[in-house]
Structure 1
Amino acid sequence: MPSPTVIVAAARSWIGTPYRHQASVKGAGCDCLGLLRGVWRETMGAEPELPPPYAPDWAEAGGERLLMAARRHLVETDGDAVAAGDVLLFRWREGLPAKHCAIATSPGTMVHAHDGACVAEVAFRPWWRRHLAHVFRFPV
């Protein structure tokens, strides 16, 4: 497993990358999953699987695909103890599938990509904590 320091450095190296749906190219474009995929490639090597094409509303139409993929390739942890290097999955409302991911850079900050903005490091504020659905770590 890469150290949390290596994961955080990789995630921060994507800051400023424009949002591009389904993309995963540092500096050119990525979405939240593309950011996670890029950090995986930089820290772990080849991706274990490639996602199929997906629409912006993929989670509403396809269920818990993000969560199921995370459970196949990451290690689920206790959501109460977020640490640097953790992968965070969010759901917007109770009963909806998780559809956004980010990488924690500290217990109080995270790097993520979202529509209409570049990849950024933001505070892990109470709003985000209320929507946090699952926490994972990169595998050993």
Structure 2
Amino acid sequence: MIADPDRVIAQARAWLGTPYAHQASLKGVGCDCLGLVRGVWRELLGPEPIAPGPYTPDWAEAAGRDALTEAARRVLVPLPEIVPGAVLLFRWREGLPAKHCAIATSPDTMIHAHDGACVCEVALAPFWRRKVSGVFGYPSP
């Protein structure tokens, strides 16, 4: 079972406007895309099951494996399609590891954090859809 999508979306929207800060996960202070997903986890489920160590902007390539997808498979629930409240993973090109994540607020919108901007809700435009590499749900508490 997955967490209530309305709760997931409400928690994600509470992060809107949080400035981008690499490796951070503090609502209203700073976060990156993974920090947003981690922060929503804490608010829904409590302590994080996996605490990431320090990572560089090129960590996905340097790891030599798809660490983000591996972690998602360990702690999240795989879903067959994009639904409200889903955690979305993105890879920039086929064959590369997933390197970005977001939370779907509808089948056509998502909340994410990215360098140079604050946490925002945007359209899940064709550019983003083509790059989706995984769809997961937060587990039910």
TM over 0.5: yes
AA aligned to 2:18 is T
Deviation at 1:2, TM superposition (A): 2.9
AA aligned to 1:130 is R
Match of 2:68 among 58, 66, 69: 66
2: CA distance between counterparts of 1:2 and 1:69? 18
2: CA distance between counterparts of 1:107 and 1:30? 24
| Deviation by residue 1:97-131 (Cα, 9 ceiling, x = unmatched) | 00000000010100000000000000001110000
2: CA distance between counterparts of 1:2 and 1:126? 27
TM-score by length of 2: 0.96
The answer to whether structure 1 residue 33 and structure 2 residue 34 are counterparts is: yes
Ranges in structure 1 where 5+ consecutive residues have no aligned partner: none
Corresponding residue number in structure 2 for 1:125: 125
1: CA distance between counterparts of 2:9 and 2:138? 12
AA aligned to 2:71 is A
TM-score by length of 1: 0.96
2: CA distance between counterparts of 1:123 and 1:88? 13
Corresponding residue number in structure 1 for 2:25: 24
Corresponding residue number in structure 1 for 2:104: 104
2: CA distance between counterparts of 1:124 and 1:102? 10
How many residues align? The count is 138
Kindly report structure 1 stretches of 4+ aligned residues shifted beyond 6 Å.
none
The answer to whether structure 1 residue 116 and structure 2 residue 116 are counterparts is: yes
Task: Report if the CA contact (8 A) 2:3-2:137 is conserved.
Answer: no
| Deviation by residue 1:22-73 (Cα, 9 ceiling, x = unmatched) | 0000000000000000000001111112001100000111121100110010
Secondary structure at the aligned position of 1:42 is classed as helix
Q: Residue 36 and residue 132 in structure 1: after superposition, are their counterparts in 2 closer, same or farther (change >3 A)?
A: same
2: CA distance between counterparts of 1:86 and 1:122? 15
2: CA distance between counterparts of 1:44 and 1:101? 19
Corresponding residue number in structure 2 for 1:5: 6
Corresponding residue number in structure 1 for 2:77: 75
* Same amino acid, percent of matched pairs: 64
Corresponding residue number in structure 1 for 2:90: 90
